[in-house]
Amino acid sequence: MIALASLCRPVVSIAAPNFLTPGGQTYYLPAGAPPLVLDWPTMSWARGDSSSTYAEWDEFGRNDLDARDDNDTNDIALPAIEPDVDYSGFAPASGAVVSETTGAGFYTSSGNIYSPFAVLSFEATLPAPQVQSSQEVAYLVAQINTVATEVDPDSIRLSYDGGAQRLAPLGSLETQRIDASGGGFSSFEVSTLHWWEVTDAAPTEFRLEFSALGASMSLANLALDAFSPSPLAGDYDRSGTVDSRDYAEWRSQYGSTVSPLSGADGNGDGLVDAADYAVWRDAYAAPVSGVHALTVPEPGFAGYAGLFAIAIAFCWCTHRCVSPRN
């Protein structure tokens, strides 16, 4: 059986996975492909930011050489595997692990996880970045690199905090497909990217699940990035843009007490008042590419009363909030 398993093993990875690195509005795909522009406010971040977590696996079982022995009968399921890749000095998140859950997978000599007979399934966990409140958005991006049999796209699901939400990706794309045929076997090395956004939850841990389409899948690489972008100043409806809808949100919450920096509390004092109107006003009227925004709506009677009080106390010295870090 061991000899047959050796014959059935697919060709190992023939190229580095085309895993994309966050940091900027554009993800650049392989040569000749147009750039992918993701139209949501999640790209203004980088690995190492305080609002991000990261884990990547390049060589499974690097620290478990006994299980990597080609003569191992693999009678014991593989242990949970910690990440083994640092990114520019940014260490993987503590507590991140990936496990093969059927118990049938084994390490190849190249550091993949493989079975010629079983349909492998995987579960990976990653601590979520800290968010300021349950109204903020947390994002997760998963990148998977396989050889031979591919991942079943319908199996890729995300849950959090021990729940069974099993959320399908908000979007997916293939970033690499390379002919990895050899030894009479036809196969491809494939990299895919999948992303989710989680709202109204403030998760503390993400759990990713995925399975092979069939037997003979070799998992070569896995990368997980989670992040919670700093909210835009004045973006009270968390839409990613500052517009008149945020003014309407401020008016509807005026006078209420909320958790600091949640709802329409733009200055973090826990009270929605005229000072938060000033935060929105400054952000809404800020120049964009040299062109000013539309006329700022006035706050109404209640807002005027609050603004008058601020004027007396602070001589109308309002300030502009710091832009989200890029």
Q: Give the count of domains, the chain.
A: 2
The answer to whether residue 321 sits within a structural domain is: no
- Residue 41 phi/psi, 5-degree rounding, is -80, 50
Write out pLDDT tens, residues 199-236: 766 788 999 999 999 999 999 999 998 887 666 788 88
- Is 19 among the domain residues? yes
Residue percentage of the chain with pLDDT more than 70: 62
At residue 187, the pLDDT reads 84
CB of 293 within 8 A of CB of 234?
no
pLDDT at position 243: 87
- Is residue 323 in some structural domain? no
Q: Are residues 75 and 214 in the same domain?
A: yes
Specify the pLDDT at position 7. 40
CB-based contacts of 128: which residues, under 8 Å, 6+ apart? 53, 138, 140, 160, 203, 204, 205, 206, 226, 228
Whether residues 144 and 11 share a domain: the answer is yes
Q: Would residue 235 count as lying in a domain?
A: no
Q: Is residue 190 part of a domain?
A: yes
Structural domain ending residue among the three candidates 201, 227, 253: 227
H and E: helices and strands count for the chain: 4, 13
Instruction: Enumerate residues 6+ apart whose C-beta is below 8 A from 259.
Output: 132, 133, 265, 270
Q: Name residues of the chain where pLDDT drops below 70.
A: 1-16, 18, 20-45, 62-77, 87-90, 131-136, 183-186, 200-201, 229-231, 238, 240, 286-326
Specify whether 307 is located in the same domain as 205.
Answer: no
Shared domain for 166 and 259, answered yes or no, is: no
Question: What is the structure's pLDDT at 136?
Answer: 66
Domain of 186? 2-227
**Domain for residue 238, yes or no?**
no
- Report pLDDT for 148: 93
Q: Choose one of 227, 252, 279: the last residue of a domain.
A: 227
Is there a single domain that holds both residue 299 and residue 262? yes
DSSP string computed for 270-300: SB-SHHHHHHHHHHHHS-BTTB--SPPPP-H
In a domain, 249, yes or no: yes
Q: Can you read off the two tokens belonging to residue 47?
A: 């690995």
Query: Structure tokens of 205?
Result: 């841990």
- What's the confidence (pLDDT) of residue 92? 78
Residue 317, pLDDT score: 38
What is the structure's pLDDT at 21?
65
The answer to whether position 154 is within a domain reads: yes
Domain boundary among 165, 195, 227: 227
